[in-house]
Amino acid sequence: MENKNTEQSLILPFRLLKYTFVIVPIVAGADKFTNLLAHWEQYLDPSLAAMLPLPGATFMKIVGVIEIIAGIIVLKKPQAGGYIVAAWLTLIALTLLVGFEYVDVAVRDLVMAVSAFVMARIAKIVS
């Protein structure tokens, strides 16, 4: 009986996290094409941008496509998607820390990565 109560108490937090990690990556990914919410190229460290074989704007559009796909994976397969989003956010945070210019955003992304990881773990229980 205890396991059933534990599972029931995790359903609402799981759903909140799941839909957060569906909506936010899709919106952020789509915004890489419009720059309505942010000018995303500013977050690209110049030393990393210099190593890219393509313009920063093109790179950010590729990032946007990856984020949209990640959001769709969370919708369809929340456990796998949660691990993908957690890894993606961790990678973004690490690249932001390279230039040590957007530390606040890097910390936020690491907190979101932990949340995505927790969602993936809860998915194993409630799915």
What pLDDT digit, counting tens, does each position of 22-72 carry?
A: 999 999 999 999 999 999 999 888 888 899 999 999 999 999 999 999 999
CA–CA separation, 83 and 73 (whole Å) = 10
pTM for the structure as a whole = 0.90
Closest CA to 13 of 69, 63, 88, 82: 82
What pLDDT digit, counting tens, does each position of 70-126 carry?
A: 999 999 999 999 999 999 999 999 988 988 889 999 999 999 999 999 999 999 999
Q: How far is CA 56 from CA 37, 46, 62, 66, 98, in A?
A: 17, 9, 10, 15, 16
